[in-house]
Amino acid sequence: MTRLVALLIALIALPAFAQVGVYIQYSQWIKLEESMRTAYVAGAADSMNLFSSPKNAAHYYACLQREKLTMAQLAYWVAEISIAQPAMMERTVQEAMLGVLQRQCGAPAP
């Protein structure tokens, strides 16, 4: 329920370029206020159910629960990825988030 509320907030508050089905670049996302970045990441995490295989989505959700990782923490880690990987500025937030999840959780089994 919390993720749904965060997603709704993100959809209402973010500019039109960030609406459902349109991914924003990391370089645009990092300029948002922290609460908006967190809301966007929560929506991106929820969208894994739509745009990822059920097996992959289940793998990452299980990891988030096991690690007790909040959306605010995930958003923080996504923001920090640019320090280690400056090329990420040209990628989407979803790509950065997936990179963080793969490092934290490992890749799903084939």
Q: What is the pLDDT of residue 1?
A: 60
Q: What is the pLDDT along the chain (110 residues), one digit of tens a residue?
A: 655 544 444 444 444 444 455 788 998 999 999 999 999 999 999 888 777 888 988 999 999 999 999 999 999 999 998 778 888 888 899 988 988 899 899 988 88
Q: What is the pLDDT of residue 7?
A: 44
Query: Is residue 82 within 8 Å of 48, Cβ to Cβ?
Result: no
Buried-state track 1-38, b at ≥16 Cβ within 10 A, e below 16: eeeeebbebbeeebeeebeeeebbbbebbbebeeebbb
Encoding tokens for residue 108?
Answer: 């799903």
